[in-house]
Amino acid sequence: MKSTGPMIGFFDSGVGGTSIWNAAQRLLPGADTLYLADSAHAPYGLLPLDALVRRTEVLTEFLLAQGATLIVVACNTATTNAIAHLRARYPVSFVGIEPAIKPAVVHTQSQVIGVLATRGTISSGLFHSRIQAYGSGYTLVIQHGDGLVEQIEQGQLMGQEVRTLLSRYLSPMVEQGVDTLVLGCTHYPFLIPVIESLFPGVFQIIDPSDAVARQILHLWSHESMHEKGHAVFLTNGSLEVMRSFAPKAAEVRTSADF
């Protein structure tokens, strides 16, 4: 399976990082890609820090062994807790994703910003440094999204449990005047339709996927791409769920190798 040419590797705690893959694909349709869905260890937000860092090492080493020349950490929790370690340890470029506090302060009118993220992201030093750097003078309402990743990993994007959880987490934000909502987990963009159905016209939703894709494009200097790149998606979780998030033309398989 090892790539014979330049290849972009992606990893996430599950299928959520496909939101980043989709955005990157729009800018780099000719790039070969390998996506790892570590669904067996989801959600990362509940893992002890040492276990989380070890998972990122395992996934990085697997991608490098398959020939990845650029690695996208398509997970907020992994980025905020481990990307500095990965950059120091491995001789490859990494692109990460973190809660988009900076663009949120540009867009808010009420000066009250909501952040929906995992506990692992919320507790990270990088997350708090971004708040200190960009959030001064604004009110931030920070809410964990316990249970949402698990529902998405089961392919439940519009079910009653998801609606109940989102109502519980976001209704207090409405009461506190939040007008701009930062989605601090790559799984959460798949919930935008149900968020908008529950709270029509309330939130301007900040999804940083396109900004991450532009950074991937900036670092990807290979000109010898195909007209259409070969995409492989591997999961250690549900093959059916992975197929529902991967493009139809992609090669999708289960794997116990990571």
Question: Annotated catalytic sites, by residue?
Answer: 75, 185
C-alpha to C-alpha distance for 255 and 56, rounded to whole angstroms: 16
Q: Which helix (H) or strand (E) holds 140?
A: strand 139-144
Structure tokens at 217: 């494009």
Calculate ∠ Cα 59-237-254, nearest 5°. Answer: 75
The strand pairing partners of 234, in sequence order, are 36, 253
Ranges of H-type helices in the chain? 18-27, 49-65, 76-89, 101-107, 119-122, 125-134, 148-153, 160-175, 192-198, 209-219, 239-245
Residues contacting residue 106 through CB under 8 Å, at least 6 positions apart: none
Structure tokens at 129: 């440094």
Phi, psi angles (nearest 5°) of residue 33: -135, 150
In angstroms, what CA-CA distances link 30 with 36, 182, 231? 19, 30, 10
The one-letter code for the residue type at 206 is: I
User: Hunting for tokens 């093959």 — which residue is that?
Assistant: 239
With beta carbons less than 8 A apart as the criterion, state whether 89 and 26 touch. Answer: no
Q: Are strands 204-206 and 180-184 parallel, antiparallel or unpaired?
A: parallel
With beta carbons less than 8 A apart as the criterion, state whether 126 and 247 touch. Answer: no
